[in-house]
Amino acid sequence: MKTKILGVITLAFLMTGVFAQGTIEYKTETAIPYYSKAVMKDDKYMEEMCVFDFYYPTNIKDFPTVIWFHGGGLTGGKREIPEYLKERGFAVIGVGYRISPNVQGIECIKDAAAATSWTFKNIEDYGGNTSLIFVSGKSSGGYLAYMVGLDKEYLAVHDIDANQIAGLIPLSGHAITHFTMRKEQGIPENQPVIDKMAPLYHVRADAPPMLIITGDRELEFLGRYEENAYMMRMMKVAGHEKVSLYELDGSNHGQMTYPAMPLLVREVEALSKEIMAKK
């Protein structure tokens, strides 16, 4: 399904579906490392970058968790907890990761997988539910969400099956090979490539549910809408039954984040209810 969203009235309607606020209390912890000291080996750059900020409920149990990867082209940006995702009845993990040219782009994916692994292995200690872990991000963060969820080898290193992810929600993420990865190979950013570093290379029927969101196809960065539309189509061709695409009319690459947030929250709520109803 591809849906186009337009207008304040539609967004206001979507916002009514978020988790009830109630009397839920929250706590924020910052700069938590997701690699062990043995792995980091006193690498100061890893110690600085490979950390996350953690926002979570303190007085409820079995809450969902959204892992959020920031954008920045794999060359910039910083970890964040999006304001819109606060006080929604779930935890948010805002992940920092190493960036190019300090490291090769593949290390960004490895960092994203390590942070995801930390969540699976530790969220229950805070009251969260490992069946309700969602992976999301904007732009290059959306690319990382795709890669962590579709190429199973990155999480397998940590003895995690990527199919345990409750849902993938990439916002304007590259579905082809990321332009930073291409640049490392001397390939121009406007020359599309689909190789092992492309989410499209890893389409499969058994992947987690996917909600794909982009800006307006005429305003988006490069061909971001079209490659994500192809991702949706090829997932369906592969036999995946839970993938949908939303195009946000009138929003360019930078503007699409805010109108995408109610859709992200609604997806977390709906899938969480569905998963818990089966238990």
pLDDT bracket for residue 189 (50, 70, 90): confident
Third-level CATH fold of 2-18+25-277: Rossmann fold (3.40.50)
pLDDT for 279 equals: 78
Tens digits of per-residue pLDDT, 87-122?
999 999 999 999 999 999 999 999 999 999 999 999
Q: What is the mean pLDDT of residues 15-34?
A: 76
Q: Is the peptide bond before 82 cis (omega within 30 degrees of 0)?
A: no
- Residue from 26, 108, 93, 99 nearest 53 by CA: 93
- Residue bearing the bigger pLDDT, 190 or 79: 79
CB-based contact 118:51 (threshold 8 Å): no
Q: Which residues contact 270 (CB under 8 A, 6 or more apart)?
A: none
- Neighbouring residues of 223: CB distance < 8 A, sequence distance ≥ 6: 192
Residue-averaged pLDDT of the chain: 93
- The answer to whether 100 and 180 are in contact (CB under 8 A) is yes
Beta bridge mates, 91: 65
Question: 3-state SS string over the chain?
Answer: CEEEECCHHHHHHHHCCCCCCCCCCEEEEEEEECCCHHHHCCCHHHHHHCEEEEEEECCCCCEEEEEEECCCCCCCCCCCCCHHHCCCCCEEEEECCCCCCCCCHHHHHHHHHHHHHHHHHHHHHHCEEEEEEEEEEECHHHHHHHHHHHCCHHHHCCCCCHHHCCEEEEECCCCCCCHHHHHHCCCCCCCCCCCCCCHHHHCCCCCCCEEEEEECCCCCCCCHHHHHHHHHHHHHHHCCCCEEEEEECCCCCCCCHHHHHHHHHHHHHHHHHHHHHCC
pLDDT of residue 21: 47
Closest CA to 141 of 166, 178, 114, 88: 178
- Give the per-residue pLDDT at 17: 37
Distance, CA of 130 to CA of 149 (rounded, Å): 15
pLDDT at position 22? 61
pLDDT for res 9: 31
Both tokens assigned to 215: 């800006």
Instruction: Tally Cβ neighbours within 10 Å of residue 126.
Output: 17
Which residue matches tokens 């006080």?
87
- Tokens representing 250? 């009138």
pLDDT tens for 193-232 read 999 999 999 999 999 999 999 999 999 998 999 999 999 9
- At 47-72, the pLDDT tens digits run 999 999 999 999 999 999 999 999 99
Considering only CA atoms, which of 14, 2, 19 is closest in space to residue 272? Answer: 19
pLDDT digit string (tens) for 129-177? 999 999 999 999 999 999 999 999 999 999 999 999 999 999 999 999 9
Q: How far separated are the first and last CA of the chain, in Å rounded?
A: 27
- Parse the chain into domains and list their residue ranges: 2-18+25-277
What's the confidence (pLDDT) of residue 2?
52
